[in-house]
Amino acid sequence: MIYREAGQFKTSYLEDGQIFPIRQDRIAVALLLLIAFVVIPLAATPYFFSAILIPFLILSLAALGLNILTGYAGQLSLGTAAFMAVGAFASYNFMLRVEGMPVLLAFVLGGICAAAVGIVFGLPSLRIRGFYLAASTLATQFFVVWCLTKVPWFTNYSSSGVITAQQVEILGFTFDTPARKYLLVLSIVCLLALAAKNMVRSTVGRSWMAVRDMDVAAEVIGFRLMRTKLTAFAVSSFYCGVAGALYAYCYLGTVEPEAYNLDLSFRILFMIIIGGVGSILGSFLGAGFIVLLPILLSFIVHATGLPNQVTSNLELMVFGALIIFFLIVEPHGLARLWQIGKEKLRLWPFPH
């Protein structure tokens, strides 16, 4: 009854093409942003910021990057964490070696380095696809981590390979507390998410989807396959690179190759599979599922008062069962579930 677009008429194509065409959605998003930017910083505890919200946002951004490549452009990739590592180490080295390098610029440059690496490792996509491409992006994962471990210049000849990240300071303002880091991460994630939405609703996004759905037809109507695929690799890797830099600077506090292992790549891939392949919202839902649910489960399981060995295993079992449950209920992910729910809500309380 409440959620209905009746009476909201679109009188221009711009209005019809806006990101949230239904007024109720716009109000909800504005409220969500208000809560995220104002209410949470006032209310949340440091633990909540650094253990839950910051990793959730950063991994959402990485998932968004992977979703651009896999969900929109249809190129399977297992190298997400490697691109994140490139972003983190490039940012670190820019800040280390260039005097007075602004942090935000270093993040952007880190993203651009990741994009360049993405283009190089995206070249095989011109000839191979599907699982074979996934196997070749696996090479990125091993190569990058190997390279960062073996070439001491990247880690500034640190003996342990674990470097403390520099302080994040923008225009004299230091982002040292969890709440401040959270606000920085949140702002970057919001801006990049908006940019991603703009891309997928204009020609560049359509070119990705066209190549994903039917590459011969895409070529015949004038898209250049090479350019389209490599743009997808570049943009995706840029997002992953920025996410990687934030992961090091705002979450871990250290820059180390081992943090960006294959395990992380897989976690991000699962996020988009569970959240929704080819959906921006899905990246956030998926990251929420993988990051937040285990924490929530451990609270619940521990509240039962069972012995420790039982609870930790129970937690994993319930988590696994939930993944299977959601994938059976909706193989297209949580985003599709959300969409179906909204469509039902528009008609509620009537069945049709």
Tokens for 130, please give them.
């599907």
Question: Strand, helix or coil at 173?
Answer: strand
Alpha-helix residue ranges (DSSP H) falling in the chain: 13-16, 23-34, 40-43, 46-47, 54-66, 80-97, 103-122, 131-150, 178-200, 203-213, 215-220, 225-246, 262-275, 280-303, 308-329, 334-347
Could you tell me the smallest distance in angstroms from the CB atom of residue 71 to other proteins?
10
Residue 150 or residue 201: which is nearer to other proteins going by CB? 201
Residue 147 or residue 225: which is nearer to other proteins going by CB? 225
Alpha-helix residue ranges (DSSP H) falling in 35-79: 40-43, 46-47, 54-66
C-alpha distances in Å from residue 170, one per residue of 167, 174, 184, 192: 10, 6, 10, 18
Residue 115 or residue 250: which is nearer to other proteins going by CB? 115
Could you tell me the smallest distance in angstroms from the CB atom of residue 191 to other proteins?
10
Distance CA 233, CA 123 (A): 9
Residue 182 or residue 238: which is nearer to other proteins going by CB? 238
Task: Identify the burial level of 34 via C-beta atoms within 10 angstroms of its C-beta, where 0-12 means exposed, 13-18 middle and 19 or more buried.
Answer: exposed
Could you tell me the smallest distance in angstroms from the CB atom of residue 38 to other proteins?
25
Contact 141, 262 (CB under 8 A): yes
Could you tell me the smallest distance in angstroms from the CB atom of residue 149 to other proteins?
34
Residue 40 or residue 337: which is nearer to other proteins going by CB? 337
Distance CA 71, CA 286 (A): 13
Could you tell me the smallest distance in angstroms from the CB atom of residue 139 to other proteins?
27
Residue 222 or residue 305: which is nearer to other proteins going by CB? 222
User: Which amino acid belongs to residue 139?
Assistant: A
Alpha-helix residue ranges (DSSP H) falling in 247-333: 262-275, 280-303, 308-329
Distance CA 162, CA 151 (A): 14
Could you tell me the smallest distance in angstroms from the CB atom of residue 51 to other proteins?
32
Residue 93 or residue 283: which is nearer to other proteins going by CB? 283
Residue 31 or residue 195: which is nearer to other proteins going by CB? 195
List, in sequence order, every residue forming a beta bridge with 164; answer none if it has no partner: 254
Could you tell me the smallest distance in angstroms from the CB atom of residue 265 to other proteins?
24
Residue 2 or residue 216: which is nearer to other proteins going by CB? 216
Could you tell me the smallest distance in angstroms from the CB atom of residue 200 to other proteins?
10
Within 8 A by CB and 6+ apart from 278, the residues are 67, 71, 72, 209, 212
Contact 299, 241 (CB under 8 A): no
Could you tell me the smallest distance in angstroms from the CB atom of residue 242 to other proteins?
14
Distance CA 251, CA 179 (A): 12
Binding residues vs other proteins (CB under 8 A): 12-14, 16-17, 195-196, 198-199, 202-204, 206-207, 209-210, 212-214, 216-224, 231, 278
User: Which amino acid belongs to residue 52?
Assistant: I
